[in-house]
Structure 1
Amino acid sequence: MTLLSNAAAEQAVCHREIICLDQLSFAFGPQQVLSDLSFTIRERDFVGLIGSNGAGKTTLLRTIVGLLKPTSGKVSLFGTAAERFKDWQWIGYVPQRNHFNPLFPATVREVVLSGLYGRRKLFKRISRSDITRSEDALRTLHIEDLADKRIGALSGGQQQRVFLARALINNPKLLILDEPLTGIDTETQQNFFHLIRHMHQKHNITFLMVSHDMDMVRSYLGEEPKMRYGKLGFYVRHSHDLEDCVETDLLHTLRKEGQR
Protein backbone atom coordinates (compact mmCIF):
# COMPACT_ATOMS: atom_id res chain seq x y z
CA MET A 1 0.00 0.00 0.00
CA THR A 2 1.36 3.44 -0.94
CA LEU A 3 1.08 6.16 1.66
CA LEU A 4 -0.25 9.55 0.55
CA SER A 5 2.15 12.47 0.79
CA ASN A 6 1.17 15.27 3.15
CA ALA A 7 0.11 17.44 0.23
CA ALA A 8 -1.98 14.66 -1.29
CA ALA A 9 -3.57 13.89 2.06
CA GLU A 10 -4.47 17.55 2.55
CA GLN A 11 -5.94 17.70 -0.93
CA ALA A 12 -8.02 14.58 -0.24
CA VAL A 13 -9.39 16.14 2.95
CA CYS A 14 -10.30 19.33 1.10
CA HIS A 15 -12.28 17.38 -1.50
CA ARG A 16 -14.52 15.68 1.05
CA GLU A 17 -18.20 16.00 0.15
CA ILE A 18 -20.17 18.18 2.57
CA ILE A 19 -23.45 18.54 0.64
CA CYS A 20 -24.43 16.27 -2.23
CA LEU A 21 -27.65 16.87 -4.15
CA ASP A 22 -28.60 13.97 -6.41
CA GLN A 23 -31.46 14.65 -8.86
CA LEU A 24 -33.26 16.65 -6.17
CA SER A 25 -36.84 17.69 -6.90
CA PHE A 26 -39.37 19.55 -4.79
CA ALA A 27 -42.92 20.70 -5.46
CA PHE A 28 -45.57 22.59 -3.53
CA GLY A 29 -48.58 20.63 -4.77
CA PRO A 30 -48.75 21.16 -8.54
CA GLN A 31 -46.07 23.90 -8.45
CA GLN A 32 -42.67 22.42 -9.33
CA VAL A 33 -39.92 24.47 -7.62
CA LEU A 34 -36.86 22.25 -8.14
CA SER A 35 -36.45 19.50 -10.70
CA ASP A 36 -33.58 17.00 -10.98
CA LEU A 37 -30.98 19.30 -9.42
CA SER A 38 -27.56 17.71 -8.89
CA PHE A 39 -24.69 19.60 -7.29
CA THR A 40 -21.86 18.85 -4.88
CA ILE A 41 -20.35 21.20 -2.30
CA ARG A 42 -16.97 20.11 -0.96
CA GLU A 43 -15.07 20.91 2.18
CA ARG A 44 -13.88 24.54 2.35
CA ASP A 45 -16.02 25.58 -0.60
CA PHE A 46 -17.79 28.94 -0.39
CA VAL A 47 -20.91 28.74 -2.54
CA GLY A 48 -22.95 31.84 -3.31
CA LEU A 49 -26.46 31.10 -4.55
CA ILE A 50 -27.96 33.86 -6.69
CA GLY A 51 -31.37 33.92 -8.32
CA SER A 52 -34.52 35.93 -8.81
CA ASN A 53 -37.51 35.75 -6.49
CA GLY A 54 -39.30 32.44 -6.91
CA ALA A 55 -36.24 30.66 -8.30
CA GLY A 56 -36.18 28.22 -5.38
CA LYS A 57 -33.24 29.52 -3.32
CA THR A 58 -34.87 29.35 0.10
CA THR A 59 -36.70 26.13 -0.77
CA LEU A 60 -33.35 24.54 -1.60
CA LEU A 61 -31.79 25.62 1.69
CA ARG A 62 -34.77 24.45 3.72
CA THR A 63 -34.65 21.08 1.94
CA ILE A 64 -30.93 20.72 2.71
CA VAL A 65 -31.41 21.34 6.43
CA GLY A 66 -34.38 18.97 6.65
CA LEU A 67 -37.19 21.48 7.06
CA LEU A 68 -38.72 20.32 3.78
CA LYS A 69 -38.79 16.79 2.38
CA PRO A 70 -37.87 16.40 -1.30
CA THR A 71 -40.50 14.93 -3.59
CA SER A 72 -37.74 12.89 -5.23
CA GLY A 73 -33.97 12.64 -5.30
CA LYS A 74 -31.52 12.64 -2.43
CA VAL A 75 -29.67 15.02 -0.10
CA SER A 76 -26.51 13.82 1.65
CA LEU A 77 -24.72 15.70 4.43
CA PHE A 78 -21.11 14.85 5.31
CA GLY A 79 -21.48 11.60 3.38
CA THR A 80 -24.69 10.53 5.17
CA ALA A 81 -28.21 10.53 3.73
CA ALA A 82 -30.05 13.51 5.22
CA GLU A 83 -32.81 11.34 6.70
CA ARG A 84 -30.17 9.45 8.73
CA PHE A 85 -27.96 12.43 9.55
CA LYS A 86 -27.69 13.07 13.31
CA ASP A 87 -24.87 15.59 13.79
CA TRP A 88 -26.93 18.73 13.28
CA GLN A 89 -24.64 20.66 15.63
CA TRP A 90 -22.12 20.65 12.76
CA ILE A 91 -24.44 22.94 10.80
CA GLY A 92 -25.15 26.60 11.52
CA TYR A 93 -28.26 27.92 9.77
CA VAL A 94 -29.43 31.52 9.52
CA PRO A 95 -32.88 31.60 7.90
CA GLN A 96 -34.54 34.57 6.27
CA ARG A 97 -36.07 36.81 8.87
CA ASN A 98 -39.49 36.61 7.21
CA HIS A 99 -39.59 32.89 8.06
CA PHE A 100 -39.39 33.70 11.78
CA ASN A 101 -42.50 33.63 13.98
CA PRO A 102 -42.43 36.91 15.95
CA LEU A 103 -44.62 35.33 18.64
CA PHE A 104 -41.98 32.69 19.46
CA PRO A 105 -41.75 32.83 23.29
CA ALA A 106 -37.99 32.90 23.86
CA THR A 107 -35.51 35.47 25.05
CA VAL A 108 -32.45 36.53 23.06
CA ARG A 109 -30.17 34.60 25.43
CA GLU A 110 -32.26 31.43 25.02
CA VAL A 111 -32.17 31.69 21.22
CA VAL A 112 -28.37 32.14 21.19
CA LEU A 113 -27.86 29.27 23.65
CA SER A 114 -29.98 26.96 21.48
CA GLY A 115 -27.21 27.09 18.89
CA LEU A 116 -24.98 25.00 21.16
CA TYR A 117 -27.13 21.90 20.91
CA GLY A 118 -28.00 19.45 18.18
CA ARG A 119 -31.52 18.11 17.86
CA ARG A 120 -30.72 15.16 20.12
CA LYS A 121 -29.44 17.47 22.88
CA LEU A 122 -32.33 19.91 23.02
CA PHE A 123 -32.93 19.35 26.73
CA LYS A 124 -29.31 19.10 27.84
CA ARG A 125 -28.53 20.92 31.08
CA ILE A 126 -26.93 24.33 30.49
CA SER A 127 -23.42 24.59 31.95
CA ARG A 128 -21.51 27.59 33.23
CA SER A 129 -19.24 27.45 30.19
CA ASP A 130 -22.32 27.52 27.94
CA ILE A 131 -23.51 30.69 29.67
CA THR A 132 -20.06 32.26 29.35
CA ARG A 133 -19.91 31.45 25.65
CA SER A 134 -23.37 32.87 25.01
CA GLU A 135 -22.44 36.07 26.86
CA ASP A 136 -19.33 36.35 24.70
CA ALA A 137 -21.42 35.97 21.53
CA LEU A 138 -23.90 38.58 22.75
CA ARG A 139 -21.13 41.07 23.50
CA THR A 140 -19.27 40.57 20.25
CA LEU A 141 -22.42 41.22 18.20
CA HIS A 142 -23.33 44.18 20.44
CA ILE A 143 -26.63 42.74 21.68
CA GLU A 144 -25.75 42.04 25.31
CA ASP A 145 -28.27 44.68 26.44
CA LEU A 146 -31.01 42.70 24.66
CA ALA A 147 -30.27 39.36 26.37
CA ASP A 148 -33.47 39.23 28.43
CA LYS A 149 -35.82 40.64 25.81
CA ARG A 150 -38.21 38.49 23.79
CA ILE A 151 -36.83 37.84 20.32
CA GLY A 152 -40.14 38.90 18.73
CA ALA A 153 -39.89 42.37 20.29
CA LEU A 154 -36.68 43.25 18.44
CA SER A 155 -36.17 45.15 15.22
CA GLY A 156 -35.23 43.28 12.07
CA GLY A 157 -31.56 44.23 12.33
CA GLN A 158 -31.42 43.18 15.98
CA GLN A 159 -33.02 39.82 15.18
CA GLN A 160 -30.45 39.14 12.46
CA ARG A 161 -27.62 39.77 14.93
CA VAL A 162 -29.22 37.27 17.31
CA PHE A 163 -29.48 34.62 14.58
CA LEU A 164 -25.87 35.23 13.52
CA ALA A 165 -24.72 34.78 17.12
CA ARG A 166 -26.73 31.56 17.38
CA ALA A 167 -25.23 30.17 14.16
CA LEU A 168 -21.63 30.95 15.13
CA ILE A 169 -21.64 29.98 18.79
CA ASN A 170 -21.10 26.26 18.13
CA ASN A 171 -18.14 26.61 15.71
CA PRO A 172 -20.04 24.95 12.82
CA LYS A 173 -18.37 22.93 10.06
CA LEU A 174 -21.05 24.08 7.60
CA LEU A 175 -22.66 27.51 7.69
CA ILE A 176 -25.84 28.03 5.66
CA LEU A 177 -26.95 31.63 5.32
CA ASP A 178 -30.22 32.75 3.73
CA GLU A 179 -29.93 36.49 3.05
CA PRO A 180 -28.01 37.01 6.32
CA LEU A 181 -27.40 40.72 5.79
CA THR A 182 -31.00 41.77 5.21
CA GLY A 183 -32.11 44.51 7.57
CA ILE A 184 -28.76 45.20 9.26
CA ASP A 185 -26.69 48.36 9.02
CA THR A 186 -23.81 48.83 6.59
CA GLU A 187 -21.07 48.66 9.23
CA THR A 188 -22.40 45.36 10.61
CA GLN A 189 -22.68 44.00 7.06
CA GLN A 190 -19.03 44.85 6.35
CA ASN A 191 -17.85 43.37 9.65
CA PHE A 192 -19.82 40.18 9.09
CA PHE A 193 -18.54 39.72 5.54
CA HIS A 194 -14.99 40.27 6.81
CA LEU A 195 -15.66 37.58 9.41
CA ILE A 196 -16.96 34.96 6.98
CA ARG A 197 -14.10 35.59 4.53
CA HIS A 198 -11.64 34.99 7.37
CA MET A 199 -13.53 31.88 8.47
CA HIS A 200 -13.47 30.51 4.94
CA GLN A 201 -9.79 31.19 4.37
CA LYS A 202 -8.40 30.19 7.76
CA HIS A 203 -10.89 27.79 9.36
CA ASN A 204 -12.20 24.45 8.18
CA ILE A 205 -15.69 25.73 7.38
CA THR A 206 -17.85 25.32 4.31
CA PHE A 207 -20.34 28.02 3.30
CA LEU A 208 -23.59 28.11 1.38
CA MET A 209 -25.04 31.61 1.20
CA VAL A 210 -28.02 33.14 -0.57
CA SER A 211 -27.58 36.83 -1.30
CA HIS A 212 -29.07 39.53 -3.50
CA ASP A 213 -25.86 41.58 -3.18
CA MET A 214 -24.23 40.68 -6.50
CA ASP A 215 -21.29 43.02 -5.94
CA MET A 216 -20.40 41.35 -2.64
CA VAL A 217 -20.72 37.84 -4.08
CA ARG A 218 -18.73 38.59 -7.22
CA SER A 219 -16.01 40.47 -5.34
CA TYR A 220 -15.11 37.26 -3.51
CA LEU A 221 -16.46 34.41 -5.61
CA GLY A 222 -15.80 35.69 -9.12
CA GLU A 223 -17.83 37.07 -12.01
CA GLU A 224 -19.16 33.83 -13.47
CA PRO A 225 -21.11 31.01 -11.77
CA LYS A 226 -19.69 27.50 -11.76
CA MET A 227 -23.13 26.18 -12.69
CA ARG A 228 -26.47 27.58 -13.77
CA TYR A 229 -29.70 25.76 -12.98
CA GLY A 230 -32.75 27.49 -14.37
CA LYS A 231 -32.77 30.92 -12.76
CA LEU A 232 -30.21 29.89 -10.14
CA GLY A 233 -26.49 30.59 -10.35
CA PHE A 234 -23.96 28.72 -8.17
CA TYR A 235 -20.83 30.81 -7.59
CA VAL A 236 -18.00 28.82 -6.00
CA ARG A 237 -14.64 29.61 -4.43
CA HIS A 238 -12.51 26.94 -2.79
CA SER A 239 -10.08 27.86 -0.03
CA HIS A 240 -6.71 26.28 -0.79
CA ASP A 241 -5.11 28.07 2.15
CA LEU A 242 -4.44 25.21 4.57
CA GLU A 243 -2.65 27.41 7.08
CA ASP A 244 -5.26 27.23 9.79
CA CYS A 245 -5.77 30.16 12.12
CA VAL A 246 -3.99 29.80 15.46
CA GLU A 247 -7.30 30.65 17.12
CA THR A 248 -9.80 27.79 17.33
CA ASP A 249 -12.61 29.99 18.67
CA LEU A 250 -14.44 31.61 15.75
CA LEU A 251 -15.65 34.46 17.93
CA HIS A 252 -12.10 35.86 18.23
CA THR A 253 -12.53 37.61 14.88
CA LEU A 254 -15.80 39.12 15.98
CA ARG A 255 -14.11 40.40 19.12
CA LYS A 256 -11.47 42.14 17.00
CA GLU A 257 -14.18 43.74 14.90
CA GLY A 258 -15.93 44.96 18.01
CA GLN A 259 -12.76 46.69 19.20
CA ARG A 260 -12.48 48.87 16.08
Structure 2
Amino acid sequence: MIALDVDNVSVAYGGGRLSLRQASLKVGSGSVCGLVGMNGAGKSTLFKTVMGFLPPLRGSVQVFGQPVIRAQKAGLIAYVPQSEDVDWNFPVSVREVVMMGRQGKMGWLRRPSAADETLVDESLERVGMRALAGRQIGELSGGQRKRAFLARALAQEGRLLLLDEPFGGVDVGTSEAIIALMGELRREGRSMLVSTHDLGTLETFCDEVALIAERTVLLYGPTGQVLTAENLAHTFGGRSPLHAPRTTHQEDRP
Protein backbone atom coordinates (compact mmCIF):
# COMPACT_ATOMS: atom_id res chain seq x y z
CA MET A 1 0.00 0.00 0.00
CA ILE A 2 1.09 3.57 -0.68
CA ALA A 3 1.05 5.70 2.48
CA LEU A 4 1.58 9.04 0.74
CA ASP A 5 0.99 9.77 -2.94
CA VAL A 6 1.83 13.29 -4.12
CA ASP A 7 0.92 13.43 -7.80
CA ASN A 8 2.03 16.37 -9.98
CA VAL A 9 1.15 18.94 -7.32
CA SER A 10 1.49 22.70 -7.80
CA VAL A 11 0.80 25.17 -4.98
CA ALA A 12 0.78 28.96 -4.72
CA TYR A 13 0.33 31.20 -1.68
CA GLY A 14 -2.60 33.53 -2.29
CA GLY A 15 -2.73 32.63 -5.96
CA GLY A 16 0.64 34.25 -6.65
CA ARG A 17 3.95 32.72 -7.70
CA LEU A 18 4.15 28.95 -7.51
CA SER A 19 5.70 27.78 -4.24
CA LEU A 20 5.60 24.16 -5.37
CA ARG A 21 5.41 23.08 -9.00
CA GLN A 22 4.56 19.70 -10.50
CA ALA A 23 5.92 17.84 -7.48
CA SER A 24 5.49 14.08 -7.26
CA LEU A 25 6.62 11.46 -4.77
CA LYS A 26 5.38 8.31 -3.10
CA VAL A 27 6.08 6.90 0.36
CA GLY A 28 5.35 3.23 0.84
CA SER A 29 3.52 1.87 3.85
CA GLY A 30 6.01 1.17 6.63
CA SER A 31 8.75 3.16 4.88
CA VAL A 32 10.82 6.17 5.91
CA CYS A 33 11.46 8.76 3.21
CA GLY A 34 13.95 11.58 3.74
CA LEU A 35 13.19 14.96 2.16
CA VAL A 36 16.38 16.85 1.33
CA GLY A 37 16.92 20.30 -0.13
CA MET A 38 18.08 23.83 0.54
CA ASN A 39 16.09 26.34 2.57
CA GLY A 40 13.39 27.81 0.35
CA ALA A 41 13.36 24.80 -1.96
CA GLY A 42 9.75 23.93 -1.10
CA LYS A 43 10.03 21.43 1.76
CA SER A 44 7.79 23.35 4.17
CA THR A 45 5.26 24.03 1.42
CA LEU A 46 5.12 20.33 0.64
CA PHE A 47 4.54 19.52 4.32
CA LYS A 48 1.75 22.12 4.58
CA THR A 49 0.12 20.70 1.47
CA VAL A 50 0.22 17.15 2.83
CA MET A 51 -1.27 18.48 6.08
CA GLY A 52 -4.11 20.10 4.15
CA PHE A 53 -3.13 23.66 5.10
CA LEU A 54 -2.49 24.61 1.45
CA PRO A 55 -4.79 23.30 -1.30
CA PRO A 56 -3.09 22.30 -4.57
CA LEU A 57 -3.78 24.41 -7.63
CA ARG A 58 -3.17 21.29 -9.69
CA GLY A 59 -2.51 17.65 -8.94
CA SER A 60 -3.58 15.61 -5.94
CA VAL A 61 -2.39 14.33 -2.58
CA GLN A 62 -3.66 11.10 -1.07
CA VAL A 63 -2.85 9.48 2.27
CA PHE A 64 -3.51 5.76 2.37
CA GLY A 65 -5.76 6.18 -0.66
CA GLN A 66 -7.82 9.00 0.86
CA PRO A 67 -7.90 12.74 0.11
CA VAL A 68 -5.97 14.79 2.65
CA ILE A 69 -9.01 16.32 4.37
CA ARG A 70 -10.58 12.91 4.89
CA ALA A 71 -7.26 11.47 6.08
CA GLN A 72 -6.91 14.32 8.58
CA LYS A 73 -10.40 13.75 9.95
CA ALA A 74 -9.58 10.05 10.30
CA GLY A 75 -6.45 10.91 12.32
CA LEU A 76 -4.09 9.30 9.82
CA ILE A 77 -1.54 12.14 9.80
CA ALA A 78 0.67 13.27 12.69
CA TYR A 79 3.04 16.24 12.45
CA VAL A 80 6.21 17.22 14.32
CA PRO A 81 6.92 20.90 13.50
CA GLN A 82 10.18 22.80 13.25
CA SER A 83 11.16 24.57 16.46
CA GLU A 84 10.74 28.02 14.89
CA ASP A 85 7.10 27.26 14.06
CA VAL A 86 6.17 26.97 17.76
CA ASP A 87 5.39 29.76 20.24
CA TRP A 88 7.52 28.63 23.18
CA ASN A 89 6.16 31.41 25.40
CA PHE A 90 2.64 29.97 25.33
CA PRO A 91 1.83 28.79 28.89
CA VAL A 92 1.32 25.07 28.44
CA SER A 93 2.86 22.04 30.12
CA VAL A 94 4.57 19.15 28.39
CA ARG A 95 1.69 16.87 29.29
CA GLU A 96 -0.84 19.32 27.86
CA VAL A 97 1.12 19.47 24.60
CA VAL A 98 1.08 15.69 24.32
CA MET A 99 -2.63 15.56 25.20
CA MET A 100 -3.29 17.82 22.20
CA GLY A 101 -2.54 14.77 20.10
CA ARG A 102 -5.67 13.13 21.53
CA GLN A 103 -8.11 15.96 20.82
CA GLY A 104 -9.29 14.48 17.54
CA LYS A 105 -10.19 11.25 19.35
CA MET A 106 -12.11 12.86 22.22
CA GLY A 107 -15.85 13.32 22.42
CA TRP A 108 -17.64 16.63 21.94
CA LEU A 109 -16.92 17.65 25.56
CA ARG A 110 -13.18 17.39 24.81
CA ARG A 111 -12.53 15.64 28.11
CA PRO A 112 -9.73 13.06 28.08
CA SER A 113 -10.72 9.52 28.97
CA ALA A 114 -8.70 7.13 31.10
CA ALA A 115 -7.47 5.57 27.85
CA ASP A 116 -6.30 9.00 26.64
CA GLU A 117 -4.42 9.58 29.90
CA THR A 118 -2.76 6.17 29.64
CA LEU A 119 -1.69 6.72 26.04
CA VAL A 120 -0.21 10.12 26.91
CA ASP A 121 1.75 8.51 29.77
CA GLU A 122 3.02 5.79 27.44
CA SER A 123 4.00 8.31 24.77
CA LEU A 124 5.92 10.43 27.28
CA GLU A 125 7.65 7.34 28.63
CA ARG A 126 8.63 6.24 25.15
CA VAL A 127 10.51 9.47 24.46
CA GLY A 128 11.99 9.69 27.96
CA MET A 129 9.94 12.72 29.03
CA ARG A 130 7.54 11.38 31.66
CA ALA A 131 9.52 12.92 34.52
CA LEU A 132 9.15 16.35 32.87
CA ALA A 133 5.42 16.07 32.15
CA GLY A 134 4.53 18.98 34.45
CA ARG A 135 7.25 21.30 33.15
CA GLN A 136 6.31 24.32 31.03
CA ILE A 137 7.20 23.69 27.39
CA GLY A 138 9.16 26.96 27.19
CA GLU A 139 11.48 25.85 30.02
CA LEU A 140 12.81 22.85 28.09
CA SER A 141 16.00 22.46 26.10
CA GLY A 142 15.84 22.11 22.32
CA GLY A 143 16.14 18.35 22.48
CA GLN A 144 13.48 18.06 25.19
CA ARG A 145 11.08 20.20 23.18
CA LYS A 146 11.55 17.96 20.17
CA ARG A 147 10.90 14.87 22.30
CA ALA A 148 7.69 16.45 23.63
CA PHE A 149 6.33 17.00 20.13
CA LEU A 150 7.36 13.50 19.13
CA ALA A 151 5.33 12.26 22.09
CA ARG A 152 2.37 14.30 20.85
CA ALA A 153 2.67 12.60 17.44
CA LEU A 154 2.79 9.19 19.13
CA ALA A 155 -0.31 10.01 21.19
CA GLN A 156 -2.12 11.00 18.02
CA GLU A 157 -1.60 7.48 16.64
CA GLY A 158 -1.19 8.71 13.07
CA ARG A 159 -0.16 6.11 10.49
CA LEU A 160 1.78 8.75 8.51
CA LEU A 161 4.24 10.88 10.48
CA LEU A 162 5.60 14.13 9.05
CA LEU A 163 8.81 15.18 10.81
CA ASP A 164 10.03 18.66 9.86
CA GLU A 165 13.75 18.99 10.71
CA PRO A 166 13.62 16.67 13.75
CA PHE A 167 17.41 16.90 14.24
CA GLY A 168 17.61 20.69 14.19
CA GLY A 169 18.94 22.18 17.43
CA VAL A 170 19.31 18.88 19.28
CA ASP A 171 22.35 17.14 20.74
CA VAL A 172 23.88 13.89 19.51
CA GLY A 173 22.12 11.82 22.17
CA THR A 174 18.71 13.16 21.19
CA SER A 175 19.45 12.60 17.49
CA GLU A 176 20.35 8.99 18.18
CA ALA A 177 17.22 8.54 20.31
CA ILE A 178 15.03 9.96 17.53
CA ILE A 179 16.61 7.66 14.94
CA ALA A 180 16.08 4.67 17.24
CA LEU A 181 12.44 5.67 17.78
CA MET A 182 11.89 6.01 14.03
CA GLY A 183 13.24 2.49 13.60
CA GLU A 184 10.76 1.19 16.17
CA LEU A 185 7.88 3.01 14.49
CA ARG A 186 8.85 1.65 11.09
CA ARG A 187 8.85 -1.88 12.49
CA GLU A 188 5.37 -1.17 13.84
CA GLY A 189 4.24 -0.30 10.32
CA ARG A 190 4.25 3.51 10.57
CA SER A 191 5.25 5.54 7.51
CA MET A 192 7.36 8.71 7.75
CA LEU A 193 8.37 11.69 5.64
CA VAL A 194 11.36 13.35 7.29
CA SER A 195 12.73 16.73 6.26
CA THR A 196 16.40 17.03 7.21
CA HIS A 197 19.68 18.77 6.42
CA ASP A 198 21.66 16.00 8.13
CA LEU A 199 22.91 14.11 5.08
CA GLY A 200 25.30 12.02 7.14
CA THR A 201 22.54 10.06 8.88
CA LEU A 202 20.11 9.51 6.00
CA GLU A 203 21.38 6.05 5.14
CA THR A 204 20.93 4.93 8.75
CA PHE A 205 17.16 5.42 8.84
CA CYS A 206 15.77 6.17 5.35
CA ASP A 207 14.47 3.54 2.94
CA GLU A 208 13.95 6.23 0.31
CA VAL A 209 15.07 9.80 -0.27
CA ALA A 210 13.41 12.63 -2.20
CA LEU A 211 15.56 15.52 -3.41
CA ILE A 212 13.81 18.87 -3.75
CA ALA A 213 15.09 22.04 -5.43
CA GLU A 214 13.63 25.00 -7.29
CA ARG A 215 10.25 24.25 -5.70
CA THR A 216 9.87 20.78 -7.19
CA VAL A 217 10.86 17.19 -6.39
CA LEU A 218 13.81 16.45 -8.66
CA LEU A 219 13.85 12.74 -7.96
CA TYR A 220 13.00 10.16 -5.36
CA GLY A 221 13.91 6.53 -4.92
CA PRO A 222 15.97 4.09 -2.85
CA THR A 223 18.45 5.89 -0.62
CA GLY A 224 21.56 4.27 -2.10
CA GLN A 225 20.55 5.19 -5.65
CA VAL A 226 19.53 8.76 -4.92
CA LEU A 227 22.33 9.90 -2.60
CA THR A 228 25.07 10.25 -5.18
CA ALA A 229 27.52 13.13 -5.40
CA GLU A 230 26.10 14.09 -8.79
CA ASN A 231 22.50 14.17 -7.59
CA LEU A 232 23.37 16.15 -4.47
CA ALA A 233 25.33 18.63 -6.58
CA HIS A 234 22.27 19.10 -8.79
CA THR A 235 20.05 19.53 -5.74
CA PHE A 236 22.16 22.06 -3.91
CA GLY A 237 23.20 23.78 -7.13
CA GLY A 238 19.60 24.18 -8.24
CA ARG A 239 19.96 22.26 -11.52
CA SER A 240 17.63 19.46 -12.57
CA PRO A 241 19.29 16.03 -12.83
CA LEU A 242 19.33 14.17 -16.13
CA HIS A 243 18.47 10.83 -14.59
CA ALA A 244 15.82 10.46 -11.90
CA PRO A 245 15.39 6.96 -10.47
CA ARG A 246 11.89 6.47 -9.12
CA THR A 247 10.80 3.98 -6.50
CA THR A 248 8.63 1.25 -7.98
CA HIS A 249 6.02 0.27 -5.44
CA GLN A 250 4.09 -2.93 -5.70
CA GLU A 251 0.97 -1.12 -6.91
CA ASP A 252 2.95 0.38 -9.82
CA ARG A 253 4.23 -2.91 -11.16
CA PRO A 254 2.49 -4.50 -14.15
Q: TM-score, normalised by structure 2?
A: 0.75
Matches within 5 A, 1:111-150: 111-118=97-104, 123-150=109-136
Query: 1:213 is matched with which residue: 198, 218, 223?
Result: 198
Matches within 5 A, 1:21-32: 21-29=6-14, 30-32=16-18
Secondary structure of 1:182 counterpart: coil
Distance 2:39 2:108 in 1: 34
* Conservation of the 8 A alpha-carbon contact between 1:49 and 1:209: yes
Amino acid at match of 1:76: Q
1:120 deviation in Å?
7.5
Secondary structure of 1:157 counterpart: helix
After superposition, the Cα gap between the structure-2 partners of 1:51 and 1:227, relative to the gap in structure 1 and judged at 3 Å, is closer
Structure 1 regions of 5+ residues with no counterpart? 1-15, 241-260
Aligned counterpart, 1:83: 69
Tell me the alpha carbon deviations over residues 135-176 of structure 1, each in whole angstroms, 9 at most, x when there is no partner: 233234333343223323433222111101111124431111
After superposition, the Cα gap between the structure-2 partners of 1:225 and 1:159, relative to the gap in structure 1 and judged at 3 Å, is closer
Amino acid at match of 1:207: M
Root-mean-square deviation (CA, aligned residues, Å) is 2.8
Amino acid at match of 1:213: D
Query: 1:74 is matched with which residue: 44, 60, 66?
Result: 60
Aligned counterpart, 2:169: 183
Tell me the alpha carbon deviations over residues 57-96 of structure 1, each in whole angstroms, 9 at most, x when there is no partner: 1110111011222233221122122234354422221011
Query: 2:188 is matched with which residue: 198, 203, 207?
Result: 203
**Count of aligned pairs between the two proteins:** 222
Distance 1:31 1:123 in 2: 42
1:127 deviation in Å?
1.7
After superposition, the Cα gap between the structure-2 partners of 1:129 and 1:83, relative to the gap in structure 1 and judged at 3 Å, is closer
Distance 1:122 1:56 in 2: 37
* Conservation of the 8 A alpha-carbon contact between 2:124 and 2:130: yes
* Conservation of the 8 A alpha-carbon contact between 1:48 and 1:236: no
Q: TM-score, normalised by structure 1?
A: 0.74
* Conservation of the 8 A alpha-carbon contact between 1:89 and 1:116: no
Query: 2:84 is matched with which residue: 98, 102, 108?
Result: 98
After superposition, the Cα gap between the structure-2 partners of 1:104 and 1:226, relative to the gap in structure 1 and judged at 3 Å, is closer
Distance 1:199 1:177 in 2: 13
Amino acid at match of 1:128: A
Aligned counterpart, 1:4: none
